[in-house]
Amino acid sequence: MQENKEQPSGPGPSERLAEYIDLWWRFLASVKLSVVLLLCLAALSIIGTVVPQNLAGQEYARIYGPFWATLVLVLDLDGMYQSWWFRALLLLLVINIVICSVDRLQSTWKTIFVRHPKFDLNGFRNRRQRHEMDLKVGPAALQAPFERAVGKSFRYRKVVPTENGYAITAEKGRWTRLGVYAVHLSVVVMLLGGLIGSRFGFEGFVAVPEGESADTIQLHGSGQRMRLPFTIRCDAFTVEFYEGTRRPKVYRSRLTIIEGGQEVVQREIEVNQPLYHQRIGIFQSSYGRADGRAPAAAAPREAPDEVTVTLRSAASGMVYTRTVAMGQAIEIPENLGWLVLERFEADADFQGMDLGPAFIGTLTTAEGTSRTVTLPLDYPRFDAMRRGDVVIGVVDGAAGDAAPAERYYTGLQITYDPGVPVVYTGFTLMIIGCWVAFFMSHQRLVVEVTARGDGSRVMVAGTANKNKTGMQVVVERMTEKLTALAEDRQGRS
Amino acid sequence: MAYNSLILSITTFIYGLAGVLYIFAWIFEKPTAGRLATRVTVLAVVANTFGILLRWYESHQLHTGYGYAPLSNLYESLVFFGWTIGVIYLWVEYRYRNKTIGAFAVPLAFLTMAYASLSPDKSIQPLIPALQSNWLIAHVITCFLGYAAFAVAFAVSVMYLIKAGDEKRAAANGGLRMPSALVLDDITHKLVMFGFLFLTVGIITGAVWAKQAWTRYWSWDPKETWSLITWFIYAALLHFRLMRGWRGKRIAVLSIIGFAAVLFTYFGVNFLLSGLHSYA
């Protein structure tokens, strides 16, 4: 009634502000927001896996036509994971995580950081899943062995006197309530590490011919050149193949790092075994012939007489293998048309991309439309990009001659990412946090012993904040253990 | 055909037989068939284990430098996926003393192995340089433990949606009636937690490995992105429980959607999208 009287004047501006802030706080702390954000991120992330990323503007016009290409560029779909709106969503998620955690920690904090936690004895006495038994030994004789038994599996314990006896209160894993906050914090830490990397790190490429040195790399993205604080010399590059196959076994560069005219490091690097110098990583990434031609593996350089072709039907997922001679038409099963291999190129080029040795063929559908397909030997899945009804791969040309001994260059990726230690800290925190949050719980146990005639009545009950069935088992085991202890004592007296 | 693929083909049929027995035991409530089904599943898992170990051994016999843990292409990963589904299912059956889940979960192991059997090329191919890393083993094992837990969670969620319709039926007996909707919900939750932990570790080991082999821990490659999409979906599922009245049906539906994302991450990305992660 009184509230009604006050209403005409309305809440003051400061109250209204407080109300406003409270409303926002509750919105930003809500689990509903987390769920909506997670599902939005899941759904929107799909776009970048379907729309090719980081192509030149005119490429999108070629793929999607002018209208859709404009839309792609306006909405930043060509680099959507770096776009302002995707980052805004991530920022909102971070705000949500932080505020939600702060909001909940306020109450959790009081539970976790207390010297003597409170046990609501009546609550335990009234639990449905409690165990009770009558023992023939008096409460006093049971106290020491019971305390020891409880202490073996519960770190904290305290004996509380009751009207007609005492209660052993015990608990463990109070700190495990922090697990979920560790997970939430880890997400923030990882994103922070990513941010540090993108702000202060760099990534680039340099090709160093055997016997030569380089100290300038070309940065990804901007294409600018950047000088390194040291010089890299490539002493040798080798590529090895598995016995009797064209399958590469190892790409290896022997490198020397030179600083101020001094050779400071000499080491071999391979794929998966980079070299770090001054926290700058040097990675084996590609290789090629130093005379400027395409990468030369032991690929056939002349058109082979026969080729093995795999045909995978997109509809059924079946893979058909056919051996075909150049110029001969083969029918593709499932009525998917015809394929003719027209020619072989030692150095195929696809829209400016260097593909190495490839077959060029014509695919004619059952309806009679034809198109050219490029089938590079080094990229057997290349044709999948066409998204046709059939994916064509060239398994193996006729065995080619091994590459003649020629001078190679080694292609090196050079990266510096100061955010990595931060990100890895986030990784560790997330794994430990998930483990604690999912599989560990805060368990509390009460063993109450009450005098009853010459003997005593014992009640065992427990609670846990997670995995309640697991706690039931703990209570049952404890009951069995205590009963055995009491019987043991009884037998001795 | 090498001995390992022969044994793995036989394993497929054993899983199939186990699945049929589970379905039979559930529909006709025959405890004998149920007990037999469990034994046959154990046999299938043993055969599956043996097939994987034999393939490992045979890879070392071919040529020097060929040997590797058989986890490196679609065929080998499917075989391992079948194994993880079998093991996780047996654990669930042991833990919850209920055999009806087998009628839904074991057929998934059978389908996985059957699909593996259709692979055109089962020959042992030595590892290309990018795959020569101990991270391969950690990455594949953790990812597939995660996937398999999600697969069994999917089976349990389907059961939940069936069960939620006729909750009025009699209570469980002899482990041959479906568990109550409440228990099914609990099993789904436990499996999703287990799967989520392993998917997380799988993504993280993949990232650490990518840093070593591809220079960056994250490149928004389609495979990476889809694994993250899957992670987002299950993360949302784990938060559903915290909202009032969002247990049960919505969780079951999201668990089914999550498993669809797992399947797309595993197969769809390879068949429909192009990227760095072209092995499996």
Q: How far apart are CA A311 and CA A317, in angstroms?
A: 10
**DSSP character at residue B268:** I
Mean pLDDT across chain A, nearest whole number? 86
- The ipTM estimated for the assembled molecules is 0.92
Highest-confidence range of A17-31, A104-118, B75-89, B108-122, by mean pLDDT?
B75-89
Q: Which of A487, A328, A301 is nearest to A406 (CA)?
A: A301
User: Alpha carbon A48 to chain centroid distance?
Assistant: 17
**Minimal CA separation from A319 to chain B, in Å:** 7
A434 contacts: CB under 8 Å, gap ≥ 6: A179, A183, B196, B197, B200
- pLDDT of A287 > 80? The answer is yes
- pLDDT of B172 > 50? The answer is no
**Inter-chain CB proximity A281 and B215 less than 8 Å:** yes
Q: Based on the domain organization, do A306 and A393 belong to the same domain?
A: yes
Does the beta carbon of A111 lie under 8 angstroms from any beta carbon of chain B?
no
Strand pairing class (A280-289; A275-277): antiparallel
Q: What is residue B176's three-state secondary structure?
A: coil
* Mean of pLDDT values over B197-207: 98
Residue A194 lies in a domain: no
CB neighbours of residue B101 within 10 Å: 23
The domain locations on chain B are 1-127, 131-280
**Inter-chain CB proximity A31 and B278 less than 8 Å:** no
Residue A324 CA: distances (Å) to CA of A65, A359, A365, A376, A489: 36, 12, 18, 16, 88
Residue A5 lies in a domain: no
Pick from A45-59, A96-110, A330-344, A391-405: least confident: A391-405
Does the beta carbon of B233 lie under 8 angstroms from any beta carbon of chain A?
yes
Residue A190 lies in a domain: no
A226's enclosing H/E stretch is: strand A225-241
**Minimal CA separation from B191 to chain A, in Å:** 11
* Mean of pLDDT values over A448-463: 92
pLDDT tens-digit readout, A416-446: 999 999 999 999 999 999 999 999 999 999 9
Percent of chain A residues topping a pLDDT of 70: 91
Paired with A257 in beta bridges are A232, A265
Residue A84 lies in a domain: yes
Q: Which domain holds residue A95?
A: 13-102
* Residue scoring higher pLDDT (B64 or A100): A100
Residue A96 lies in a domain: yes
Q: Based on the domain organization, do A36 and A94 belong to the same domain?
A: yes
**pLDDT class for B242, splitting at 50, 70, 90?**
confident
A286 contacts: CB under 8 Å, gap ≥ 6: A207, A295, A410, A411
Q: How far apart are CA A355 and CA B234, in angstroms?
A: 39
Domains held by chain A: number: 4
Q: What is residue B67's three-state secondary structure?
A: coil
Does the beta carbon of A25 lie under 8 angstroms from any beta carbon of chain B?
no
**DSSP character at residue A273:** B
Q: Based on the domain organization, do A206 and A263 belong to the same domain?
A: yes
Q: How far apart are CA A44 and CA A48, in angstroms?
A: 8
* Mean of pLDDT values over A248-263: 93
Among A397, A429, A457, residue at a domain's last position: A397
Does the beta carbon of A315 lie under 8 angstroms from any beta carbon of chain B?
no
Pick from B89-93, B119-123, B153-157: least confident: B119-123
Q: What angle do CA A71, A76, A79 make, to 5 degrees?
A: 130
CB B149 within 8 A of CB B90: no
Closest CB to B273 among A49, A273, A439: A49
Residue with tokens 């604690």: A436
CB A34 within 8 A of CB B239: yes
Q: How far apart are CA A222 and CA A199, in angstroms?
A: 14
**Inter-chain CB proximity B215 and A270 less than 8 Å:** no
**Inter-chain CB proximity B204 and A381 less than 8 Å:** no
Q: End-to-end alpha-carbon separation of chain A, Å?
A: 71
Q: How far apart are CA A242 and CA B131, in angstroms?
A: 14
Q: End-to-end alpha-carbon separation of chain B, Å?
A: 22
Strand pairing class (A248-259; A329-332): unpaired
Q: Based on the domain organization, do A312 and A234 belong to the same domain?
A: no
**DSSP character at residue B265:** I
**Minimal CA separation from A4 to chain B, in Å:** 32
**pLDDT class for B158, splitting at 50, 70, 90?**
very high
Using DSSP, how many helices (H) and how many strands (E) does chain A show?
10, 20
Return the pLDDT at A425. Answer: 98
**Minimal CA separation from B95 to chain A, in Å:** 11
* Mean of pLDDT values over B249-266: 95
Q: In what order do the strands lie in the sheet with A306-313?
A: A319-325, A306-313, A390-396
**Minimal CA separation from B154 to chain A, in Å:** 19
CB A377 within 8 A of CB A284: no
Q: Based on the domain organization, do A233 and A267 belong to the same domain?
A: yes
Percent of chain A residues topping a pLDDT of 90: 50
Q: How far apart are CA A328 and CA B69, in angstroms?
A: 41
Mean pLDDT across chain B, nearest whole number? 91
* Mean of pLDDT values over A170-180: 93
Return the pLDDT at B206. Answer: 97
Strand pairing class (A202-209; A213-219): antiparallel
**Inter-chain CB proximity B63 and A243 less than 8 Å:** yes
**Inter-chain CB proximity A274 and B65 less than 8 Å:** no
Return the pLDDT at B169. Answer: 53
Q: Based on the domain organization, do A384 and A466 belong to the same domain?
A: no
Residue A424 lies in a domain: no
* Residue scoring higher pLDDT (B192 or A292): B192
**Inter-chain CB proximity B211 and A420 less than 8 Å:** yes
Q: How far apart are CA A475 and CA A462, in angstroms?
A: 6
Does the beta carbon of B128 lie under 8 angstroms from any beta carbon of chain A?
yes
Return the pLDDT at A302. Answer: 56
- pLDDT of A378 > 90? The answer is no
